[in-house]
Amino acid sequence: MIQPDGLVAIVKRDCPTCVLIAPVLADMRERLGLTLTIYSQDDPLFPESTRGSLDDTDLGVSFALNIEAVPTLLRFKNGIEVARTVGWSREHWEEICGVSDLGVGLAPFRPGCGSRTQEPAIAEARALADRAAALSSRSIPIGEEEDEFEAMFDRGWSDGLPLVPPTTLRVARMLDGTNRAPHDIVAVVPPNLVECTVEKVAINAVMAGCRPDYLPVVLAAVEASCTETFNMHGLLATTYFSGPVVIVNGPISKTIGMNSGINALGQGNRANATIGRALQLVIRNVGGGRPGGVDRATLGQPGKYTFCFAEHEGTSWGTIATERGFAPAQNAVTIFAGEGVRGVVDQLSRTPESLTRSIAECLLTTAHPKLAVAFDAMLIISPEHLRVFEEGGWSRKKFRDELEGLLLLNGSAHSRGSREIMEGMPEELSEMQLPKFRERGLLIAHAGGGAGLFSAIVGGWVGGSLGSESVTLEIGQ
Amino acid sequence: MTYLLDPTSESAPTTRERAERPLSLEGITIGLLDIKKARGDVFLDRIEALLVERSYSVLRFSKPTFTKIAPIDLRHEISTKCDVVIEALAD
């Protein structure tokens, strides 16, 4: 801010030192005339001895001059600050003013008070305002008579549920959740292949109901979903049920309060609910992927509103992320193309062998009992089922190895037309043993409440390079 | 007055003219694109047989997988070699 040449004093009535030196300011005004400009941070009627001051209650001048304490006296020459002193010091004030005998009768020195710009709430509001000013998204006015919630529905931003209005202030606060700059590109979002900035993700995260500390997870989920490997475009376009399922690993899941326990796949936890929703809103609003448009799902499934959960950490079986080489201390997000949840009931098996056979029988029904290799799945083992394996001394690897043998299909029994069902594998594969799942086609997660001998299967979509490969990425800051 | 930040890409679709439709298939090349949906080949085999029977010039193409958009090289090849394309979409 360019100041006219001369002296500038910043004061506030609430500061005893400022009150003490009010006669000094009056004396200076007398001697120096209009070369002295006084700003008051809290009351423009102060000081009465100078017939008031210029109004800086919005602190615009104080922020521009980076005032940390009052009184502050500054001298400007050719528009540049050439001298500054903080608090009352006769010696310094006389030097800056170029006059003598200032404040005769006062103590030669007295410290000032903190500037209002340093008050935490004000400093935060100012920082937010600065960040808000740096945002580049179009600002859409909503009329006084308009209902902003209805306005968001009308503009097609919603997944069908109400949204949190993305005001500038909320978006600026959301951006506090990441160190990344608002204009950073996170991903190129299908189907319209739009470059998506951190800011656009933040706006959609606000609408989804996220807290700022969820934003790094949302950013990683968006990035992982928009990889060529994951193939979000195809997943959106398919007539099949699947949508992106977000699995969160690492300490962040606890830090932000995610649910990996009772009802982990269900309702009731803000982080679980809103992170998955934010991802879907980015695809809808930034990528342009909407049901009936590029999303051609025949039936879809309720998880396409949101499907996000955290795994239990620290068990002998590890997690999806640790199986893929991430350290337990690393935060990671995995995106899996998943359909709905189906239950695996086994309340009687007390040996790993029996329970594995149970789980295999259920997994064999994924997509269709006569289809092999094509469709992926995620198995979510509950704590009580995991206990059976742990007590039997089975590791994750041992379970995988045993399961693999139980998931081999006899080609002839699964070929098209066999068992009087036309659906099935091509005739030319009838002599082969077919694995139900391709390599990497079965994810194993661990979540759920402590009671219940139930696990879950989340069927996948066409797996691998022919469809979607699940992607795990580290969550950044 | 409340202001909301736009959550969309803030882009508008552009309108393009459709390519001119040929009045006849005489002397032009017809591309047949199999997107790899089940039994799309059965449909296209039959179409090809009918077209060849009528002495039309036919080229066959296929996408690597129906789950992904056609690779840019394939799209380029089809656009440079063919005048019209018949695509077998669904199973």
Using a 10 angstrom Cβ sphere, with 0-12 exposed, 13-18 middle and 19 or more buried, the burial of residue A426 is exposed
Alpha-carbon Rg for chain B, nearest whole angstrom, is 19
Token digits for A202? Answer: 């933040």
CA A183 to chain centre: 15
For residue A248, give how far its alpha carbon lies from the nearest alpha carbon of chain B (Å): 25
Ranges of chain A with pLDDT below 70: 1-2
Q: Which residue of A has its CA nearest to B10?
A: A138
Residue A147 to residues A285, A293, A329, B2, Cα–Cα distance (Å): 20, 27, 45, 10
State how far the Cα of A153 lies from the Cα of A149, in Å rounded to an integer: 7
* Alpha-helical runs (H) found in A226-255: 232-237, 252-255
Token digits for A305? Answer: 């509103």
Using a 10 angstrom Cβ sphere, with 0-12 exposed, 13-18 middle and 19 or more buried, the burial of residue A435 is middle
**Are the C-beta atoms of A1 and A64 separated by less than 8 Å?**
yes
Q: Name chain A contacts of B2, Cβ cutoff 8 Å.
A: 141-142, 148, 165, 167
Measured in degrees and rounded to the nearest 5, phi and psi for residue B37 equal -75, 150
Contact A139/B5, CB-based, under 8 Å? yes
Decide: pTM greater than 0.90. Answer: no
Cβ neighbours of A295 (radius 10 Å): 19
pLDDT for the residue A231: 96
State how far the Cα of A308 lies from the Cα of A258, in Å rounded to an integer: 9
Q: Which residues touch A130 (CB under 8 Å, ≥6 apart)?
A: none
Nearest to A286 among B2, B3, B8 (CB): B8
State how far the Cα of A74 lies from the Cα of A76, in Å rounded to an integer: 7
Contact A139/B3, CB-based, under 8 Å? yes
Handedness of CA A6, A12, A18, A20 (dihedral sign): positive
Interchain CB contacts (distance < 8 Å): A and B: 87
Contact A142/B4, CB-based, under 8 Å? yes
DSSP E strand stretches across A363-424: 375-381, 408-410
Q: Name chain A contacts of B7, Cβ cutoff 8 Å.
A: 137, 157, 166, 200, 203-204, 207, 281, 285-286
Measured in degrees and rounded to the nearest 5, phi and psi for residue B62 equal -145, 145
The closest of A387, A228, A235 to A317, measured between CA atoms, is A387
Nearest to B7 among A141, A144, A285 (CB): A285
Q: Does A454 touch chain B (CB under 8 A)?
A: no
State how far the Cα of A380 lies from the Cα of A336, in Å rounded to an integer: 13
**Are the C-beta atoms of A335 and A246 separated by less than 8 Å?**
yes
State how far the Cα of A83 lies from the Cα of A89, in Å rounded to an integer: 14
Best A186, A466, A469 member to test B by mutation, with max B CBs in 10 Å, is A466
Domain boundaries, chain A: 6-118, 148-474
Nearest to A165 among B4, B11, B68 (CB): B4
Q: Name chain B contacts of A238, Cβ cutoff 8 Å.
A: 67
Q: Name chain A contacts of B6, Cβ cutoff 8 Å.
A: 137-140, 203
Q: What is the pLDDT of residues B17-35, one digit of tens each?
A: 988 889 998 999 999 999 9
How would you write A62-83 as a 3-class SS string? HHHCCCCEECEEEEEECCEEEE
Q: Name chain B contacts of A194, Cβ cutoff 8 Å.
A: 9, 11
**Are the C-beta atoms of A158 and A174 separated by less than 8 Å?**
no
Q: Name chain A contacts of B3, Cβ cutoff 8 Å.
A: 139-142, 167-168
The closest of A331, A312, A316 to A251, measured between CA atoms, is A331
Contact B68/A200, CB-based, under 8 Å? no
Where is A344: in which H helix or E strand? strand A341-345
**One-letter identity of residue A354:** S
Token digits for A109? Answer: 């020195």
CATH number for domain A6-118, candidates 3.40.50.1100, 3.40.30.10, 3.30.230.10, 2.40.50.140: 3.40.30.10
State how far the Cα of A91 lies from the Cα of A99, in Å rounded to an integer: 10
State how far the Cα of A21 lies from the Cα of A242, in Å rounded to an integer: 73
For residue A202, give how far its alpha carbon lies from the nearest alpha carbon of chain B (Å): 9
pLDDT for the residue A2: 67
Measured in degrees and rounded to the nearest 5, phi and psi for residue A200 equal -65, -35
| Confidence category of residue B91, pLDDT binned at 50, 70, 90 | low
Cβ neighbours of A229 (radius 10 Å): 12
Token digits for A465? Answer: 């390079």
Q: For tokens 């977000």, what's the residue? A: A246
State how far the Cα of B42 lies from the Cα of B36, in Å rounded to an integer: 11
Contact B2/A142, CB-based, under 8 Å? yes
Token digits for A338? Answer: 């998943």
With 90 as the cut, is the pLDDT of residue B67 above it?
A: no
For residue A136, give how far its alpha carbon lies from the nearest alpha carbon of chain B (Å): 9
Instruction: Spell A230-239 as b/e; 16+ CB within 10 A means b.
Output: bbbbbbbbbe
Using a 10 angstrom Cβ sphere, with 0-12 exposed, 13-18 middle and 19 or more buried, the burial of residue A398 is middle
